[in-house]
Amino acid sequence: MKKISLSNISKLYEVISREYDLYAPIKKAGKVNFAKWTDGEEVVFNAQTVRSPKDMFFPQTMDLYSLKMQGKTVEVIDDRSETAPFVVFGVKPCDCKSFEVLDRVFLAEPVDTYYQNRREAGIIVGLGCSAPSESCMCASFGVDNTEPVADVKSYIVDGEMYLDAITDKGEKLLSLIAGLLVDADSTKVDEQKAKTKEINKKLPLQNLDMTRFTADNLNEIFNEEEWEGLSEACLACGTCTYVCPTCQCYDIRDFKTNDGVKRFRCWDSCMYSDFTKMSAGQPRNTQMQRFRQRFMHKLVYFPANNDGMYSCVGCGRCATKCPISMNIAKVIKKLGGKHND
């Protein structure tokens, strides 16, 4: 394990950014989001980013290809460019886990090469949690918030950042900044981990009962009357899906430019009325059905197809951002199992 003093950390950013594009949780216009680091930006580690780091691999909009019309000819242009290697700093353990969920979707056959391209180019520096919040549910979804699964794991204790490479990519990154790091033992980090685990025990949503969410109960849960009540105030906005680190639905759309067409893909939200709308009509006509789709997907359909892995990492963004404060915790408490109060 290596360490560096936080007072020295901007030097570390500087060295990395000479070699890679560096992304970090940066505070701009009052809110913290992952953004490209340039000298003078304010990096904030103790707040949750509004947008999740899924943007790094699966951006909100992405050009696929374009068509250019000239007279009677149509030229097809591949808008893809090789992604330059980049580094994402300060990714919390829950968000690290979300990449695993996204990989299941995009790296399964047929592989999404746009995603793969970025995934291979990205080096993730995870950051262990030291002060989880009441909206954190990571433990309920099997995430250990003291062990970020990433290329490099890091911890911040007493004004110092501890770093430890896990993968080869991580080793490579640490060797780049080796001159700035000093050797350290893990005593302080272990103390912090133990402390965090104690805090987890006091958090109300870290031990949700999800035993009922199995493929066998699919029909029973699907037909629950509770869905009506849970979804009645839903505004049908896309906040929960757009701040979610694991929501991966997208739409492919065309934009008519002045001399052709740009085909791009952008995030879609199951909360929107035209979600998966087809020429034959709309598979989900009411907001209740759309609301139900979101949670059934995360808690029942996805695990049934992915060895029990939930498509939720318990980051709690939906819980803090929903305009009407309806969220996955409330759904789990209503439908998850007997042991939720």
Partner 1 sequence: MQEVKEYTPLIVAFCCNWCSYAGADLAGSSRLSYPANVKIIRVPCSCRVNPMFILKAFQRGADGVIMCGCHPGDCHYTSGNYYARRRMSLLFSMLDYMGIERERTRVEWVSAAEGAKFANVMNEFAKTINELGENKRLEDLRCK
Partner 2 sequence: MQVSDIKKKASEMLLSGEVKRVIGWKKGEFDYDLTPATFESVEELEDFVYDGFCGANLSKYLIKESKKEGKTLVFMKPCDTYSFNQLLKEHRIVRDNVYVVAIDCEGKLDIDKIKSKGIKGILSVKEDGDEVIIDTIYGESKVVKGEVMLEKCLTCKSKEHVAYDESMAQGVENVSLDRFSEVAKLEAMTADERYEFWRGELSKCIRCNACRNVCPACSCVKCVFDNDASGVSAKSNANEFEESMFHIIRAFHVAGRCTDCGECSRVCPQHIPLHLINRKFIKDINTLYGEYQAGADVDSRGPLTNYTTDDLDPSDIFGGNK
Instruction: Please report whether residue 295 would count as binding partner 2 according to CB under 8 A.
Output: no
Whole-number minimum distance, CB 316 to partner 2, in Å? 11
Treating both helix axes as pointing N-terminal to C-terminal, what angle do 113-121 and 93-106 enclose, rounded to 10 degrees? 140
| Residue ranges in 13-52 that form contacts with partner 2 under rule CB under 8 A | 28-31, 33, 46, 50-51
Is residue 260 close enough to count as binding partner 2 by CB under 8 A? no
User: Which of 102, 321, 331, 336 touches partner 2 by CB under 8 A?
Assistant: 321
CB under 8 A: which stretch of 41-49, 93-101, 257-265, 289-297 binds partner 1?
257-265
Query: Which of helix, strand or coil describes residue 113?
Result: helix
Residue from 27, 104, 188, 262 that binds partner 1 (CB under 8 A)? 262
Residue list 110-149, contact with partner 2 (CB under 8 A): 131-134
Please identify, among the stretches 80-88, 114-122, 198-206, 219-227, the one whose residues bind partner 2 according to the rule CB under 8 A: 198-206
Rounded to whole angstroms, the Cα distance separating 19 from 37 reads 13
- The nearer residue to partner 2, 57 or 170, going by C-beta atoms, is 57
Q: Give residue 261's Cα distance to chain centre.
A: 31
Site string for partner 1, 84-123 (x = CB under 8 A): ----------------------------------------
Binding status of residue 159 toward partner 2 by CB under 8 A:
no
Which of 97-133 are b and which e, b meaning 16 or more Cβ less than 10 Å from the residue's Cβ?
bbbebbebbbeeeeebebbeebbebbbbbbbbbbebe
Q: Does residue 257 interact with partner 1 by CB under 8 A?
A: yes
Nearest distance, CB of residue 201 and partner 2, angstroms: 10
Is-contact 295 267, C-beta < 8 A? no
To partner 1, the closest distance from the beta carbon of 258 in angstroms equals 5
Residue with smaller CB distance to partner 1, 75 or 171: 75
Find out whether 303 and 101 touch, Cβ atoms under 8 Å.
Answer: no
> Please, what is the minimum distance in Å from the beta carbon of residue 47 to partner 2?
8
Three-class SS state of 339: coil
- The radius of gyration of the chain from alpha carbons, rounded to an integer in Å, stands at 22
Is 61 one of the binding residues for partner 1 (CB under 8 A)? no
84 touches 22 (CB < 8 A): no
What's the CA gap between 27 and 49, in Å, rounded?
9
- Positions 68 through 87 that interact with partner 2 (CB under 8 A): none
Is 263 a binder of partner 1 (CB under 8 A)? Answer: no
Residue 222 sits in the site that holds partner 1 (CB under 8 A)? no
* 86/123 Cα distance (integer angstroms): 6
Q: Select the span of 195-203, 205-213, 252-260, 319-327 touching partner 1 (CB under 8 A).
A: 252-260
Which is nearest to 130 in space by CA: 89, 181, 191? 191
Q: In terms of CB distance, is 113 or 257 closer to partner 1?
A: 257
Do 241 and 52 form a contact (C-beta atoms < 8 A)? no
Least distance to partner 1, CB of residue 242, Å: 22
Instruction: Please name the amino acid found at residue 237.
Output: C
Are residues 287 and 294 in contact, defined by beta-carbon separation less than 8 angstroms? no
Could you list the residues that contact partner 1 (CB under 8 A)? 255, 257-258, 262
